[in-house]
Structure 1
Amino acid sequence: MHQLPETGFLRIRQILGNKKAAPPIPAIVPVCDATWWAGVKSGRFPPAIKLGPRTTAWRVEDIRALIEAAR
C-alpha cells in the first residue's frame, strides 16, 4: 500500500500517478483522468475541494476510505 499522510490533501497526479515525473509517481487509483472526473461527477469517487482558483485537491481521509471500500 502507498504511504499516505495521516491528514492533508492530495493533488490529482498524486492519486492517478505520473509516469513522466522524475522520479515517476505511482498511481494510487489506476484510472485515466477522464474516468476519474466522471467518477467524481457520478459520486463513485470523492468530491474535489477547491483550494484556490487553479488548485483542486482531495482529502487524504476520503482517498483512504475509497481504498478501503475497494478491498
Structure 2
Amino acid sequence: MATIWRLPSVRAEYGKSRTSIYEDINRGLMTKPVRLGARAVGWPAEEVKKITAARVAGKDDAEIRVLVNKLEDARKEVTA
C-alpha cells in the first residue's frame, strides 16, 4: 500500500515552501498531487523521496523532468 503525504510532510521532505512546490509542478520538476477528496490532495511518499534523492545526487532539471514523467506514467499504469 502506498503512503500518501499531505503538504506539510512534502514540505519537510522536499525542503521547499508551498509556493515553490507548486512552481516546480508547473515546471515539470515535481509530480502533480493526487486528489484525496473535494478539498484535499497529497503526494505518494515514494515519488517525493525519489525526486529528493535525485536532487541530492546532483541531477539537473532536465533529468528531474524525465524522472517526474516516468513517475507520473507509472501512476497511469497502475490505474489502467
Q: 1:49 aligns with which of 3, 19, 34?
A: 34
Q: 1:43 and 1:65 mapped to 2: Cα distance?
A: 14
Q: What are structure 1's unaligned runs of at least 5 residues? A: 1-5, 17-26
- RMSD over aligned CA atoms reads 1.5
What SS is found at the alignment partner of 1:14?
helix
Query: When the two structures are superposed, what TM-score results if normalisation uses the length of structure 1?
Result: 0.69
- Whole-Å Cα distance in 2 between the matches of residues 60 and 8 of structure 1? 6
Which contiguous aligned blocks of 4+ residues in structure 1 show a shift greater than 6 angstroms? none
Letter in 2 for 1:43: G
Amino acid aligned to 1:11 = R
The structure carrying a bigger helix percent of its residues is 2
Secondary structure (helix, strand or coil) at the match of 1:69 reads: helix
- Contact 2:33–2:43 (Cα < 8 Å) also in 1: yes
The normalised TM-score by structure 2 is: 0.62
Task: Tell me which amino acid in the other structure corresponds to 2:6.
Answer: R
